[in-house]
Structure 1
């Protein structure tokens, strides 16, 4: 953990301070969390290498464009990084529509729809976990344009690395359906979806523990299987 005075100025506010004090007193859990991330990401990279190669070939055969989608996201302490995801939409999709995606989004490819349904598009993020930009469990990394809309306690979510999954991801797994009939998906996301997700994220931050992270990962596996 950084010292309080070393945090970005926009995070040094009264609403963030209680979360900072709570997380800073759980250093052992933070250590276990990082050790687990390193070991498990290495194991998964080896085990998933062939499946990821197969998925890559399917993406290339299905539509024009690269295999990966790399968008700038925000993680711990406001650091910007490029996230790894399998491309599930047409090339340059973020330039021809919203940064959030509804189920009826015409930009989604045939293979992309299957990957998104089973969350297989998230697999390459094990590389982000290995580098430390992400963790297996944590607040989903938002695009820069949405982080700029944060206010108050929302900034506390940047005290921890962004995650592949979270309680908010499980409970809000049907987010795309909520945006399906929106006239402006970006506005609906910022005004309605993001605040609700943040309530779950902040609750998870208050209850953070290494054991809690393991439980969230197991709940994610069950949710995906269902």
Structure 2
């Protein structure tokens, strides 16, 4: 079975099985705060091609306000329902649609915004962007509390660029070198365990 067939099969089954939950979450978001249910943002995909990622909206809808493109600590923009969705990672579920459309994979390096891709070292950029970005990867498991870590930094964005991002890229490069369906299954299982056992 190829990786694309694996992704297409599981994302289709996931979207069908989780449809009632997705509708419930959408309703809770609408009841909790005004604004769209979905948050869409440009990310850099395979071979550097931009795409718009789908997430459930977890912050107040303030289209005129431009803040950091990373979340730091207990961000005051996060809504009540949004806090729960982030902690449980349920806000990521709409990315099953991105997998189904072919912009993402279930497992692969997490897609970054262009602002941070610009900081990728040349020797790693082509390798990390040679595969479809994923909903989960090794770095997603290791950095589940990334916002809390960045909150302790004097300059969170610089800490992300110079400390967190290089480690994430190293892990992403390791994944590209070892990628297989078996590894994907193990990482999906580890991700589910990390969420359930939090």
Give the TM-score normalised by structure 1.
Answer: 0.83
2:166 aligns with 195
* Number of residue pairs matched by the alignment: 196
- More displaced 10-residue stretch of structure 1: 150-159 or 71-80: 150-159
Instruction: Kindly state the Cα deviation for residue 93 of structure 1 after the two structures are TM-superposed.
Output: 6.7
Tell me, which stretches of 5 or more residues in structure 2 are unaligned? none
TM-fit CA distance, 1:122: 0.2
Q: Choose 1 or 2 for highest CA Rg.
A: 1
Say if 1:93 and 1:107, in contact at 8 Å, map to a contact too: no
Question: What SS does the corresponding residue of 1:58 show, helix, strand or coil?
Answer: helix
2:93 partner SS: helix
- Corresponding residue for residue 98 of structure 2: 128
After superposition, the CA RMSD in angstroms is 1.4
| SS across alignment from 2:129 | helix
Identify the residue that residue 176 of structure 1 maps to in structure 2. Answer: 147
Show the counterpart of 1:161: 132
| Change beyond 3 A, Cα 1:127–1:159 | same
Distance 1:92 1:154 in 2: 35
The normalised TM-score by structure 2 is: 0.95
Unaligned runs of 5+ in 1: 1-30
Q: Deviations over 1:108-135 (max 9, x none)?
A: 1110000000000000000000011000
Tell me, yes or no, if the aligned pair for 1:134 and 1:163 is still in contact at 8 Å. Answer: yes
Q: Distance in 2 between matches of 1:85 and 1:188?
A: 25
1:96-151, Cα deviation, whole Å (9 max, x unpaired): 32000022111111100000000000000000000110000000010111111111
